[in-house]
Amino acid sequence: DAGVTQSPTHLIKTRGQQVTLRCSPKSGHDTVSWYQQALGQGPQFIFQYYEEEERQRGNFPDRFSGHQFPNYSSELNVNALLLGDSALYLCASRDRDRAYEQYFGPGTRLTVT
Amino acid sequence: KQEVTQIPAALSVPEGENLVLNCSFTDSAIYNLQWFRQDPGKGLTSLLLIQSSQREQTSGRLNASLDKSSGRSTLYIAASQPGDSATYLCAAIPNAGGTSYGKLTFGQGTILTVHP
């Protein structure tokens, strides 16, 4: 049983560009959350998706958007990249009704130059 | 708004020592408290999950306690080993039914170094 997978592993972008990160949830999970972890900090909640809709959102600007597909996989899109967007982006999946069993992927390291 | 704080920010100990990591949270209306381990540049590995009805959880050399009334959790590591070196994060999970259900609020982590 594959766990949560994320792609790509690493990514380097230039300021002003756009980026798309991908996440496949653990088998049987229908809810996906995204977190941003800046260097030396704890992860910060970006947003959560289930039933292909954004259900909760953290304190992130509209430059951060997402999508969930019918197979429950998800994408995180960031437009007009800033240097401060450089971080590890983590995806977590769970069953909708079991918030205490969240599984994290290995993350995507984004570097903005 | 839930805020989670971890003390100390960093800890360096010789191999074999018993140690305690602290986590405090401002809103006691949590559903669960979870401890994670993170190796440099890697994702999160769940260590222990304490449900609101529990006071502690144990796994091997690890023991985590939860005191909701005081807004505190501790992670106790017995007989530390160099392989325990990592960042340890605690996260509060809010109660079901609220608008924040499923959203984890993390502390900033404690960087642990165990030297031989």
Q: Check CB contact under 8 Å for A48 and B93.
A: no
**Which chain B residue's Cα is nearest to A47?**
B103
What's the 3-state SS for B44-82? EEEEEEEECCCCEEEECCEEEEEECCCCEEEEEECCCCH
- CB atoms < 10 A from the CB of A52, how many? 11
Residue B6 above 90 pLDDT?
yes
From the candidates B21, B44, B106, which should be mutated to test the interface with A, based on the most A CB atoms within 10 A? B44
Considering only B10-14, B26-30, B40-44, B70-74, which range has the smallest mean pLDDT?
B26-30
Helix (H, G, I), strand (E, B) or coil at B95: coil
Which of A102, A103, A108, A109 is the best substitution to test chain B (most B C-beta atoms within 10 A)? Answer: A102
Are B34 and A100 in contact (CB < 8 Å)?
yes
Of A42, A48, A109, the CB nearest to B103: A48
The reported pLDDT for the residue numbered A1 is 63
Q: Is the pLDDT of residue B52 over 90?
A: no
Beta strands in A9-112 (DSSP E): 10-13, 19-24, 31-37, 44-50, 53-57, 64-68, 74-78, 87-94, 103-104, 108-112
Q: Examine the pLDDT at A28 and tell me if it is beyond 90.
A: no
For residue A9, name the pLDDT band (cuts at 50, 70, 90).
very high
- B93 contacts in chain A (CB < 8 Å): 99-100
At A53-111, the pLDDT tens digits run: 998 899 999 999 999 999 999 999 999 999 999 999 999 998 766 666 788 999 999 99
Give the model's pLDDT for residue B101: 62
The pLDDT value recorded for residue B96 is 60
Nearest CA in chain A to B96: A99
* Cβ–Cβ gap A58/B107 under 8 Å: no
Which of B52, B7, B18 is CA-nearest to residue B34? B52
Q: Is B93 on the interface with A (CB under 8 A)?
A: yes
